[in-house]
Chain A
């Protein structure tokens, strides 16, 4: 019964509130315990931060005028746009395929479950950069893509190089990589929804798709969203890997510029500032989307 150690202090209060005998003692002041070392830690941390900021401002090697010159330069803005496109297409395609894979893994058919598992296994195992280079060289493997009856005649065909350009290969690589992770996140979210919810929906005779769209997914979104935002942000920064394919996204463009003018640090800061800025926007967006899906929740 550890609870009985504290209350005596409280029990004295009503006693004192009752009519006091002769002389009423003054009310007692409560003094919290002091934490001198906490203040010392605060002081040390504050000095370190001040030094860092001071260095940023006064060290000429940061070359802030070069940063300012290139931060909104047209080539950089174009590169930011390419980065955003890679992120949006990669995320959209990745999550559409991810949802399909997640429901395959939750399917009653062992075959579908194993195919989805195999996909996730394979694409989580191969480093993204290896995959990207692989897709970039797809034309070397398959010169022509035919569409038609499997193992039978083809109806129309494309040159692989024409259909899958550098940008296409990059989006494909990012999306296929993303799908493996998205599948697991969506599956986790669906599993987190109480089984009773599906049962109640089934007992009410709701059509199968409606059960998923209206009952399960909105509730699953609560646990999907934090992880999904992580993935989107990680993909957004991961687009810098695409620079190995000579696509004019942010990081590649910055490298091109400092290769020309030698101003490495300020140009890396240009890229850093854009990544930080856009990640912040995503985080704010996450807050509002999560709020939308927390309707009726108590925490």
Chain B
């Protein structure tokens, strides 16, 4: 299903931690403007796959291209040379990442959290970065929390700040690693609403989640992973309602 307009092209990704093979040859294509939701039992490798896409995790073999550019490596002949850290950091500014546990900087205010990367990584003027940060906070409904410290916010608010922080770099691609798994049930909705809003604006996103309802509503493609492989993928109506593989069926019967 490779298409010329694929924004993310992962090919033959292998990754093991010690003797544990976490990814056993994963191919993934994501078209620009689409939302891909990755489902699967814990330990299936979905988070690891996501982390290889911005080189937070080094692959053992395989390659990742975002907008045609190899992530983390430079190709010369038949060899992939790992890039210098500085170049990898520059690539990451184009790929937003939202963590399960937010990882906001606790000693910086909400506004400082958002301003940090545009100023330090992209060398934007401070004034522009602050204006951009305030607009983003407004968008996630937290304009009044600009001067608060992260620990004074609820989990849902912290995750919305973390999303705004990722957006502050104006990334081409957004990766979400179980963005609602650390939240109290009543706070999940406010975070999903922000992600849905991004989806409607045509942001390219890959979301690892356990929220089947969200996948059904927002995803263009649902990818089901198990045992380090992609078992099946397709539109949500197909994968969620008419799964072809036994493992998909048994997983869905447990979570639905």
Contact = CB atoms under 8 A, between A and B. Distances in A.
Interface stretch (B35-43, B82-90, B243-251): B82-90
B165 A204 contact: yes
A283 interface: no
In which size bucket is the chain A interface?
20 to 34
26 contacts: A194-B103, A196-B101, A196-B103, A197-B103, A199-B99, A200-B105, A202-B56, A203-B54, A203-B92, A204-B92, A204-B116, A204-B166, A205-B90, A205-B91, A205-B92, A205-B93, A205-B121, A205-B169, A207-B121, A208-B86, A293-B107, A296-B106, A296-B107, A296-B150, A297-B107, A298-B152
A296 B108 contact: yes
Interface in A157-216: 194, 196-197, 199-208, 210, 214-215
The 3 closest A-B CB pairs, nearest first, are A296-B149, A200-B103, A205-B93
B105 to A, nearest CB: 6
A218 interface: yes
A297 B104 CA distance: 13
Interface of B: 54, 56, 85-86, 89-93, 97, 99, 101, 103-109, 116-117, 120-121, 149-152, 165-166, 169
A219 interface: yes
A295 interface: yes
A208 B109 contact: no
Nearest to B122: A205
A295 B107 contact: yes
A270 to B, nearest CB: 43
A200 B106 contact: no
Given A208-B85, A296-B106, A297-B106, A202 B151 contact: no
B116 A214 contact: yes
A219 B121 contact: no
A199 B56 contact: yes
B103 A206 contact: no
Given A200-B99, A214-B120, A296-B150, A206 B106 contact: no
B107 A219 contact: yes
A200 B116 CA distance: 12
Contacts of A293: 107
A201 B120 CA distance: 11
Contacts of A207: 86, 89, 120-121
A28 B248 CA distance: 66
A206 B107 contact: no
A197 B105 contact: yes
A218 B105 CA distance: 10
A220 to B, nearest CB: 10
A281 B86 CA distance: 44
Contacts of A199: 56, 99, 103
A297 B103 CA distance: 14
Interface in A269-299: 293, 295-298
A295 B56 CA distance: 29
Contacts of B116: 204, 206, 214
Nearest to B105: A215
A196 B102 CA distance: 9
B89 A208 contact: yes
B107 to A, nearest CB: 5
A206 B105 CA distance: 13
Contact of A202 (B89, B106, B152): B89
Contacts of A194: 103
Given A202-B89, A206-B117, A206-B120, A295 B105 contact: no
Given A295-B107, A296-B106, A203 B97 contact: yes
Contacts of B166: 204
